[in-house]
Structure 1
């Protein structure tokens, strides 16, 4: 392995990572990968000097805690100094597995609780870090990104709060609407895509899949995810299709706050006898994804693979179990960027895509103040992967 020069190894400041309990497992994986990669970068002679300047450490995880009072109120407490450190705060706001006691009752942690903890940590640092970067794999409140009537703009407000507290960079993945960054136009905001990792995992798990337009098609379940599906289709060199729902806007009654659906239409070439990858940013209730899969089967699609960065499964797994038993879906891929229950992990149709090495690469790159353009847009890496697969 070729060693890089000593000057290239010097970071802008010693690295520290705060992994919120909602992201503890992912934080540990990221920390271990950074330790491993940095140990491989240096010779024994350079090791001591690099340890002194903060490049190497036994652990980059920040020792801190957010204890709660009996009323449910909380505070952040740092158990080590962050003065002059390049601090990265990692949190999963969708993780509902955490609990705390309030007035003797057990309460699960909500996205609001976790976001407040992030602000508490920033406040406890008291402006001492050299630089603070917040990594929210699932961007907090990104689904409330626009105002249709008299509604709050929660995502924009949250970004402005972080900016006003001194956060220089905000990092997220496959944002539901990346244009929300316009609310903080002079702050750093990077939206990384997970396309390469998904394509690589699909090629590993589906040995008989063929990445060409005669055998494969990309489908978006609605118009909102069309740009994402277009990217997949372009880099893979295959066709793309999209579903849209015709609604009765003249109806006085609605279903779950929405106008009733009077028809589902498909735009695109035939999916008959083709494998189909359904691409979306998240699986929440799963209604749209399951409807899309059944509609594709009606059109004689061969195998259906569902790809979504965030598997929230907010209404359980029963409908996915049924779709799998009916032979409608073959596999669901989501990332470990958000919490996944043990029940989900044990499903025969589920595969988790590990993004820890990707996050460690991003942190390592930024800690050296070098460009992230090559890892922000993964087109070249996908093309190299496809070339290897064809061999």
Structure 2
């Protein structure tokens, strides 16, 4: 089964008494339905692969984002700085920063309660940088927009964001469109709405090439991890980034 966006991934642990671990429940349902293998992208937490009793191939959007950044920032790549919007996303941001040879900064946020950001500070010098926030999910875009404003107020020349899954619920599109972000790049793991497609500063990159090649590799018995190499991925996206 190809599941580009595993929607229950954020319910991967019990945060308080008598709450379900929905990710495990859905994993059990998928296995019980007779599905023998799952192909997905950027699980919210890598350990979710262990919830399944069947093989799970977790693809990553970072190689696609790296190609996109190298293409769109080719004349100013030295000014790019990758930013993690929270401490939990540092590994993801570090991977992208390593791929494009950019420095890394972190937005440290401390919540008073769920859904509210109490305080945000930047760890790292972003002055004069073209900051690229990288994360796996953009839901209502509240935290993303606040992080972008913080970076701009901290001296960033430009603020962009690359997000694997554009849930974009509620006022997300409006928030992004009216924010300081110059661009938001999402993948099509969730079908983009007309509002997303017509937004002036939102762009969608395709995942079909990497999913198609992954399926071919699985059926052919070859390595799926080879898709994480730029040399393998670039030919798949040569029409998008000539």
Residue 278 (structure 1) aligned with residue 133 (structure 2)? yes
Q: Which residue of 2 aligns with 1:346?
A: 198
CA–CA separation in structure 2 for the residues paired with 1:314 and 1:365:
34
TM-score, normalized by length of structure 1? 0.56
Asked if 1:178 is matched to 2:42, the reply is no
8 Å contact from structure 2 (residues 177, 200) kept in 1: no
TM-score normalised by length of structure 2: 0.88
Does the 8 A contact of 2:82 with 2:131 survive in 1?
yes
Unaligned runs of 5+ in 2: 236-242
For the pair 1:201 / 2:68, whether they are aligned, the reply is yes
Cα distance, 1:260–1:342 mapped onto 2, change above 3 Å: closer
1:371/1:258 Cα in 2 relative to 1: closer, same or farther (>3 Å)? Answer: closer
Conserved? CA contact 2:109–2:117, under 8 Å:
no
The change in CA–CA distance for 1:329 and 1:350 in structure 2 (over 3 A counts) is: same
Tell me which of 86, 110, 131 is aligned to 1:222. Answer: 86
| CA shift in 2, pair 1:370/1:359, >3 Å | same
Deviates more, 1:226-235 or 1:159-168: 159-168
1:24-61 Cα deviation digits (max 9, x unpaired): xxxxxxxxxxxxxxxxxxxxxxxxxxxxxxxxxxxxxx
Q: Structure 2 vs 1, CA of residues 314 and 247 (structure 1 numbering), >3 Å: closer, same or farther?
A: closer
Q: How does 1:129-168 map to 2 (within 5 A)?
A: 134-149=1-16, 150-168=18-36
Give 1:322's aligned residue: 178
Q: In angstroms, what is the RMSD of aligned CA positions?
A: 2.2
Q: Does the aligned pair in 2 maintain the 1:283–1:313 contact within 8 Å? A: yes
SS in 2 for 1:143: coil
Partners of 2:159 and 2:49 in 1: CA distance: 34
Give 1:236's aligned residue: 100
2:238 is aligned to: none
Q: Which residue of 2 aligns with 1:109?
A: none
Q: Rate the CA distance shift 1:177–1:187 in 2: closer, same or farther, 3 A.
A: same
- Residue pairs, 1:1-391, within 5 angstroms: 134-149=1-16, 150-184=18-52, 186-206=53-73, 208-210=75-77, 212=78, 215-247=79-111, 257=114, 261=118, 263-268=119-124, 270-316=125-171, 317-323=173-179, 328-375=180-227, 377-378=228-229
Distance 1:300 1:349 in 2: 21
**Alignment coverage as a number of residue pairs:** 233
Query: Structure 1: which 5+ runs fail to align?
Result: 1-133, 249-253, 385-391
Counterpart residue number, 1:65: none
Following superposition, the deviation at residue 138 of structure 1 comes to 0.6
Q: Decide whether aligned partners of structure 1 residues 242 and 339 sit closer, same or farther in structure 2, where only a CA change above 3 A counts.
A: same
Deviations 1:281-332 (A, max 9, x none): 0110001110110000011101111100111110132211211xxxx21111
Instruction: Determine helix, strand or coil for the equivalent of 2:121.
Output: strand
Q: 1:368 to 1:292 in 2, by over 3 A?
A: same
Q: Which of structure 1's runs of 4+ aligned residues deviate more than 4 A?
A: 257-260, 379-384
Q: Which protein shows a greater Rg?
A: 1
**Aligned-residue offset at 1:221:** 0.9
Q: Which has the larger displacement, 161-170 or 188-197?
A: 161-170
Change beyond 3 A, Cα 1:380–1:224: farther
